Chain A
Amino acid sequence: MRTTVWLLALLGASAVWGQDPRVYDLSGLEPELPAWSPLGVPRLDRGSQGRLEPRRSEREGALEAVAVVVERAAELGAVEQSGLRLLTTSAEAAAVLERGLEPLRAQLRDLPLVRVSLVPLEAGEAERLALGPLSEADAARFAKRAPLARLSARPRGGWLNARSVRGQEQVVGYEVDQSGAVPVRTATLRRVSAGCAARLRVRRRADGAFWVEGVIECARPLDGARVTFDGLPLDLPAADRLRVVGAWGVPGGPPVLLAACSLPSPTGFGSWGLCLQVLAGPPPGLGGAAGAGPFVWRHDVSALLPASYAAVDVDDPFAGARDTRGQVEALIEERLEDDSRDPTQERLAELLDREDLPPVRERDHDGTSLYAAGDRAEQLRLAQLLASRRLPERRLRLRLDSEEGAAGAVLRVLALEGRPLRVVLARERNALVSSELLGNGCGSDGPETVAVPVLEVVVGGFDLRLEAQAAEEVDVEGALCAVLAERPLATRWGEFSQLERQRLQLSAHGVCAAGDRVALGAGPWAAGVARATLEVER
């Protein structure tokens, strides 16, 4: 109310003085990020993971862009700001705002359509199909198949944050409220969701392709169990989960096969191919930015940045749920202060210096954008130059064979040099492994305690982190996990699961040229011995 009165007063004063006041609304430039709701088996230890923040604040970035424009405008005339509204009576400042804000709006307005699909593969396809853009024939065949999971959405503010839920199940769990004199146990309903979810940052490159990075997750529910805990029913849900975290350069148009997998046993999703398609979106180059005179344009430099600037941390894709903004800011500050050791800054500076390009105003707060002020020709040249610095693709193939000669599993992935990739394919379920007695706080008479179940997510499957570096250097680590046996142990609270598990550690580090095969590890697996190898495809 006070803001409105203030603006009206300013407008009135302007009218009295005979000037032409202009008001600019910035609200559309501030993308809101919806919450991320994980699929599959709920994890009690990640109770707060319902919200996944981006690793770098996109919102901050957008506002920084506006700040650059406003700063330029303010040099020419008075600009007042109130909340997300700007007001100026200066024609020169208004022209700058006009030219500066409209391109930014255009960048947020022309949203591409992103489709993610997990497609069942026929025998031999996981080995045969080329990773990367699918041929027309393959794309047509894929289109006819019923996908295992699918979603399509338009990213807002550069971020796609969508989920396509095919089924939801409510399961019973328990929590304890200890805030009162007596602890109280309450039943809670936890949700098991199946379907597809994606959290991707999609940026258009000047060459027409898209820079896509983030998490794709697919889940399929399995029959869970219901046990008795302390005389109460307790659900132990189960689900298959596929999670891929990484970055890719995706040409707009046909679907791109990011990963393909074939498993001999009907576990997980069987044989599948993970496709990503980006359609429409802003036109290549500078999109809607037009007109004469200089303007500020946001250029994406994600591909030039070290992996630590990735949208989502592959080592801990849910870090955002626990991350605090202060930590992120501190990291950025540290990098800015210690700029002399940042190879990206040096690389950019070298590029700009050599090519006689427009002055860089600032790298924005999210660390992935470069704001340049210049005319259309200059901006276009910078955009093309940055787009030419794309990361080369590497195709990696992991094989798991048994020494007894049984058919093995194959996982093939498309990776970018310098960008780590993580693939988790697991059958997960909750197991009741222990209990915890919680008492009341001090100062009460009653020695009441209540028990809460301690659940563990039992995982069988693999978790791989792959990183292809320049100079043919490959870095792979991960593990295969299997649950061999589960023995019940009767206690006064119910039957606890005693788990016997197998884990095969996989790792390879060093130089690996195209066509090379390296051993990742070997060890006891099921009834025999398994041997894992990594091959860099030609």
Chain B
Amino acid sequence: MRRAIALACVAACLSAAAQDADPGGRYEQRIADLVLAPRGAEVERVGLNPRLHEGDAALYFDEDPEGLYAPFALEVALRRLLGFDALEVRVDEETGVLLARTSPGGRGRLDRQLAWLRAVERQRVEVRLRAYLLEAWPGAELRPGAALSPEAARALASQRPWAELEVSLPDGVRVAGVALRRELAFLGDYEVNQTGVVPVLNPQRSVFREGLWAALRLSRMPAEARAVLEFDLGFARHEGAEQVEFRPGLPLVLPRWSELAAEGSCVVTGARTLVLAAVQDTDGAGDGRALVITAEVGALPPALAPPDEAVVLRRYAWGALDRPRRDAADSGLSLDEGGPWSSDQRRERIAEALPGAVDPERWSDESFVTQWTSGLVVCQAGATQRRVAEHLQASWAQRQRTVGHWLQVVRAGGEPRARLAVAACEGWPGSIAWQRKQACLSEVERSAGAVSVRFRDPGDDPLVKTFAHGLTLEVQGVEVGGSLRVHVDLRRRALEAGQERVRTPWGELTRPVEGWSWRVEESVRQGRGPALAGEVRAPGAPTLQVRLDSRMEGSK
């Protein structure tokens, strides 16, 4: 049977080869660099046992690594581009090999097209992320989303980064990376196996990954030398561990650590260093040091101009055209007055409207508009491509400016207890969560064996839980009639009274005592002054003053 199949295949190949001689030859080129996600593109996050927390999806990004062009979509696009000139165009999704049967002219067009796509994709932007741990807050010159002032740049230059990460960003495609300082493995738990006659207690190892993790996407504006940098940052720092004896000879290691998660975006116009997020925590166990995460963005390479008459594929990144996925319609912050479309609906509308809006007479079988994951793809002559870019810029481009948000929590009449700063494009949400976490032995569960003929020797299963306290800020700002309208959601969870040790028949357990917590959710209009300033009172807790400054950086 196998032989028959093989012979049939060889015969089919020979027959295909015979056909080949007629309309043109076989064209083969490996284009894995264009269509396949780089190997190892997905990187593991930082924190405690990150493999166990894969469900924590990022706000902006799909988690799967992606290539620059979807293989199937590029196949369809190239087939349409060649039209009747091609008998066959295929892109192998596993190997990234492009196979085509076309005339010598078609092969030449494929060569030129792929050379053009590669030339465009070489226009990458290098971004170097740095996390600094500073002894003091850098001062008012630290403005999220704005280029560092000379003073702040000098202050940071004299410091050694705590973590540093360099990524090379193509247009509109997510790239993730991690600067892992260290990975600690320790005995973090015990687990009872109940499958046998007697329950068995086995040690479980935990892993803590300390470092800086980031997923970035840089999307170029269609017709301007500007781009939008979206970021999803994770920071985790091990701050020590407590060793407890759960039972004689059964030690447990309970780590303490701090975590930052920040998501936001900013407009970049050229080589400069920006502050993406910052935090300082002098509350409770905080050591008062400031964590500042900066991005040194390389120069934006000039956009390549296709020849006027050559029909080429060009990708316009969705990141520059999309509307906020989660706009604050409830608070009157929606940027788009045209209706509450989803991203998909908006993308469809852009694609459908384009041929009628730009050079309607120049759209033919070989020129077209199609939607891909990473962007809107237009196949047109160079001259029309320029007008397409201008149209997209004028009619659909979003995110022209960055809003820097800076929040202080101050005890009445005292020093600031916490500061948070994050950058987000106008109309887009930014969020920053700063948490101190601690693993505690909080409960003991008794377990018997699976075969309960005779109940004997129950096993004690220690339940190790993670307690967290800190601040979470979600904020969104948009200019309306000369004023900045801001929607803010601030939550605080505190372990004001620390922890309580409880003696039980099963040993000493730790119970967190939640002192107080509060939440502020407001939409306010501000002029040039503070967006939000007010007091927060909670029963039995000191009054705190909260002050949020939001500032528009750059101009439209």
- A contact residues vs B (CB 8 Å cutoff): 67, 306, 333, 336-337, 339-341, 343, 345-350, 352-354, 360, 362-363, 365, 418, 433-444, 447, 449, 465, 469-471, 473, 475, 477, 484, 489-493, 496, 498-505, 507, 509-511, 519, 521-524, 529
List the B side residues contacting A473 at CB < 8 Å. 30, 32-33
- Supplied contacts A437-B200, A440-B197, A502-B182, 6 more A-B pairs, CB within 8 Å: A333-B5, A339-B13, A354-B17, A441-B197, A502-B183, A509-B33
The answer to whether A501 touches B13 (Cβ under 8 A) is: no
The answer to whether B198 touches A449 (Cβ under 8 A) is: yes
The answer to whether A492 touches B38 (Cβ under 8 A) is: no
Check: B185 CB closer than 8 A to any chain A CB.
yes
Per a CB cutoff under 8 Å, which of A336, A437, A444, A519 touches B202? A437
The answer to whether B180 touches A505 (Cβ under 8 A) is: yes
Would you give the shortest CB distance from B116 to chain A, in whole angstroms? Answer: 14
Report the bound CA distance from A340 to B183 in whole Å. Answer: 47
Which of B133-141, B143-151, B245-253, B439-447 has 4 or more CB atoms under 8 Å from chain A? Answer: B245-253
Check: B493 CB closer than 8 A to any chain A CB.
no
* Per-residue contact bits, chain B 432-456, to A (CB 8 Å; 1 contact, 0 not): 0000000000000000011100001
The answer to whether B180 touches A489 (Cβ under 8 A) is: no
Would you give the shortest CB distance from B136 to chain A, in whole angstroms? Answer: 24
List the B side residues contacting A434 at CB < 8 Å. 187, 202-205
The answer to whether A362 touches B205 (Cβ under 8 A) is: no
List the B side residues contacting A438 at CB < 8 Å. 200
List the A side residues contacting B28 at CB < 8 Å. 343, 347
Per a CB cutoff under 8 Å, which of A346, A436, A484, A504 touches B16? A346
Check: B186 CB closer than 8 A to any chain A CB.
yes
List the A side residues contacting B3 at CB < 8 Å. 67, 362
* Per-residue contact bits, chain B 203-225, to A (CB 8 Å; 1 contact, 0 not): 11100000000000000000000
Per a CB cutoff under 8 Å, which of B118, B163, B168, B196 touches A511? B118
Report the bound CA distance from A331 to B84 in whole Å. Answer: 35
Residue of A nearest to B12 (CB): A339
Which of B91-99, B227-235, B362-370, B469-477 has 4 or more CB atoms under 8 Å from chain A? Answer: B91-99
Given contacts A475-B38, A491-B249, contact A499 B185 (CB under 8 A): yes
Per a CB cutoff under 8 Å, which of A349, A353, A443, A498 touches B185? A498
* Per-residue contact bits, chain B 7-32, to A (CB 8 Å; 1 contact, 0 not): 10110111011101000001011101
The answer to whether B253 touches A350 (Cβ under 8 A) is: no
Q: How many A-B residue pairs have CB under 8 A?
A: 183
List the B side residues contacting A363 at CB < 8 Å. 6, 10
The answer to whether B12 touches A440 (Cβ under 8 A) is: no
Given contacts A491-B203, A521-B166, contact A505 B18 (CB under 8 A): no
Residues of B in contact, count (CB < 8 Å): 68
Per a CB cutoff under 8 Å, which of B17, B204, B253 touches A353? B17
The answer to whether A346 touches B99 (Cβ under 8 A) is: yes
The answer to whether A500 touches B40 (Cβ under 8 A) is: no
List the A side residues contacting B181 at CB < 8 Å. 502, 524
Report the bound CA distance from A443 to B449 in whole Å. Answer: 12
Residue of A nearest to B29 (CB): A471
The answer to whether A449 touches B200 (Cβ under 8 A) is: yes
List the B side residues contacting A523 at CB < 8 Å. 163-165, 179-180
List the B side residues contacting A440 at CB < 8 Å. 196-197
Can you report 9 A-B residue pairs in the complex whose CB atoms are below 8 A from each other?
A336-B2, A354-B17, A439-B200, A440-B197, A442-B197, A489-B186, A502-B181, A519-B166, A522-B164
List the A side residues contacting B97 at CB < 8 Å. 343
Would you give the shortest CB distance from A520 to chain B, in whole angstroms? Answer: 10
Residue of B nearest to A524 (CB): B181
Check: B39 CB closer than 8 A to any chain A CB.
yes
Among all A-B residue pairs, the 5 with the closest Cβ atoms: A492-B249, A349-B13, A439-B196, A339-B9, A447-B198
Given contacts A438-B200, A473-B32, contact A507 B40 (CB under 8 A): yes
Per a CB cutoff under 8 Å, which of B17, B43, B177, B203 touches A350? B17
Report the bound CA distance from A354 to B186 in whole Å. Answer: 65
Pick from A345, A433, A443, A447 the residue with the most CB of B within 10 Å. A447
Report the bound CA distance from A500 to B186 in whole Å. Answer: 9
Report the bound CA distance from A33 to B168 in whole Å. Answer: 47
Would you give the shortest CB distance from B153 to chain A, in whole angstroms? Answer: 19
Given contacts A473-B30, A475-B39, contact A337 B180 (CB under 8 A): no
Residue of A nearest to B18 (CB): A353
Would you give the shortest CB distance from B189 to chain A, in whole angstroms? Answer: 11
The answer to whether A510 touches B33 (Cβ under 8 A) is: yes
The answer to whether B201 touches A437 (Cβ under 8 A) is: yes
List the A side residues contacting B202 at CB < 8 Å. 434-437
The answer to whether A336 touches B26 (Cβ under 8 A) is: no
Would you give the shortest CB distance from A386 to chain B, in whole angstroms? Answer: 15
Residue of B nearest to A420 (CB): B39
Report the bound CA distance from A443 to B38 in whole Å. Answer: 53
List the A side residues contacting B9 at CB < 8 Å. 336, 339, 345
Check: B547 CB closer than 8 A to any chain A CB.
no
Report the bound CA distance from A439 to B193 in whole Å. Answer: 9
* Per-residue contact bits, chain B 155-177, to A (CB 8 Å; 1 contact, 0 not): 00000000111101000000001
Check: B535 CB closer than 8 A to any chain A CB.
no
List the A side residues contacting B184 at CB < 8 Å. 498-501
The answer to whether B164 touches A501 (Cβ under 8 A) is: no
